[in-house]
Amino acid sequence: MLAAILFDLDGTIVNTDPIHYQAWQQMLASYSIEIDETFYKSRISGRLNPEIVKDILPQLSTAEGQKFADDKEALFRQLASQLQPLSGFAELIAWTDTHQLKRALVTNAPRLNAEFMLEVLGIKEVFHTVILAEDCTAGKPDPAPYQVALNTLKINAENAIALEDSPSGIRAAVAAGIPTIGIASTHNPQILQAVGAFMAIPDFMDLQLWTFLNSLLSTQHSLLSTNY
């Protein structure tokens, strides 16, 4: 029985990758490091800032690395004042309301970024719970954030669906036992399915998504009717 949909934020609800890419380009240029999209997708996208900084700028102390990451995120927020959700997001939220499903946000985004994006997008009140990686024992690709979300909503993994755009996010949700749909806003659909997504779609208007959701609910209603 479907009881909840669990949403990633960056790249899933809103395509922030072009802005993050721009911010990382500007910040790393001060260290004479030039990055392209391939570098961004393989070394930055979906990872936590401490891991990224340690990987790319190993010469920085912990305090220097934290300041670099904070400055990068402040630049991101400065550049991201005109964010819009992916097509079909409002319709999907309305659909979950109609069918009385719970909604959780599960994100690796730093707290200030998550709060900023929820405010800019006008969706602060949409989620029954917001799970930040920094409040968990580990961030994605570790399943901990999704496990916390399931526990908070008091549901089992098989009663949820996760929506994720990055390989690390998909690995986290799948490792938590949650059927996962890939949102191919930033990565090739084949890559998302290769790491465990059972479906990959460009946005929430995709007919494949709605066919699946409606058939799932139709099956549930039939089972309930049979049981009664």
Q: Which residues are catalytic?
A: 8, 10
**Best CA proximity match to 84, nearest among 122, 57, 115, 116:** 122
Cis peptide upstream of residue 18 (ω within 30 degrees of 0): no
SS3 61: coil
The pair of three-digit structure tokens given for residue 158, joined into one six-digit string: 């098989």
How many Å apart are CA 61 and CA 149, to the nearest integer? Answer: 33
The answer for residues whose C-beta is within 8 angstroms of residue 144's C-beta and 6 or more apart is 136, 137, 138, 172
**Which two three-digit tokens encode residue 16?**
């922030």
Q: How far apart are CA 39 and CA 21, in angstroms?
A: 10
Distance linking the first and last C-alpha atoms of the chain? 16
Q: Are 199 and 165 in contact (CB under 8 A)?
A: no
